[in-house]
Structure 1
């Protein structure tokens, strides 16, 4: 009788160990690093830190639109395949006004919240 008890106990442990091995490990979590970018008129404009350092109020042209969606803080933040649509930005908050720059084409550069964003060509 003792042999049957030990056998049953041994088989139980083997079965439990096998079940634990069947559990699938969680996929690794990856943090996505987003660039400071906005899409406008089908183009990506990137934060131009050098131009932003020389920013002054005299550069502000006409209001041409506003940010419609912010990726950071949204459900899309960890979606590495998310594609920006016009008016959407990675870091700029929804409702931020978009301005042209006096003396420059909108196809080259835009202003948002005292920051200069430049089209780099794609």
Structure 2
């Protein structure tokens, strides 16, 4: 083979190898034939609700699969390493949980994706009168949430939820970042259900705002609830 032809073949090979797609994976796990996806507005309310092991991860697709036509199979997970255990949640067959120190109460929550199963994960979906506790977390080192305040008195719960209710939706709001990133908090709303709701709260030095689904601007009254105690 002529040298120039050999170089052309090698060049095409390298281009082919380097043209593989980088896939932006959704955080999923496939166990027992069911496809589960991570829900970031849900946390386990009490680790006592964690049930039996229903399977474990067999293959981590992120960093290993670049084929956009790849068909996920039993035991696949987007980001979890091989051997990661997947647990049931008692009384909630459409949910699954994976233990992690990075999430409030120690578990990442997954919901089955199907035509029959839809997770209602917006703040508006919570029955406000059923809220019996609100925990407030502040982002700590390595993005780990640190509990700074628990609200369990009915009047305080009502006062805070009223402030949140009065928030003004502003989809085009841009926080002030001249002094750095906004301070990040998380509000966790507990009812009698095994799954609690959680949503981010921010302060950019001038404006309090949170994201129950869209961006809502809040009054400064919310500050008294996030004072570390």
Check conservation: 1:55, 1:116, Cα contact below 8 A: no
Query: Which structure is richer in relative contact order (CA contacts within 8 A, separation 6 or more)?
Result: 1
Residues 49, 86 of structure 1: CA spacing in aligned structure 2 closer, same or farther, 3 A cutoff?
Answer: same
Say if 2:48 is the partner of 1:58: yes
Task: Please give the TM-score of this superposition, normalised by the length of structure 1.
Answer: 0.68
Contact 1:55 1:115 in 2 (8 A): no
Query: Matches of residues 1-122 of structure 1 in structure 2 within 5 Å?
Result: 26=15, 28-52=19-43, 54-74=44-64, 77-105=65-93, 108-113=94-99, 114-122=107-115
**3-state SS of the aligned residue for 2:22?**
coil
Structure 2: 5+ residue runs without aligned partners? Answer: 100-106, 116-229
Report deviation, 1:45.
0.3
2: CA distance, partners of 1:71 / 1:103: 30
| Alpha-carbon distance in structure 1 between the residues aligned to 2:51 and 2:79 | 22
Report the 3-state secondary structure (helix = DSSP H, G, I; strand = E; otherwise coil) of the residue aligned with 2:71: coil
Q: CA deviation at 1:55?
A: 4.5
Gaps of 5+ in 1: 1-15
Specify which structure has the higher proportion of strand.
Answer: 2
Backbone CA RMSD of aligned residues: 2.4
Normalising by structure 2, what TM-score? Answer: 0.38
Q: Which runs of 4+ in 1 moved over 4 A?
A: none
SS in structure 2 of the partner of residue 83 of structure 1 = coil
Q: Give the 3-state SS of the residue equivalent to 2:55 in structure 1.
A: strand
What is the aligned length? Answer: 98
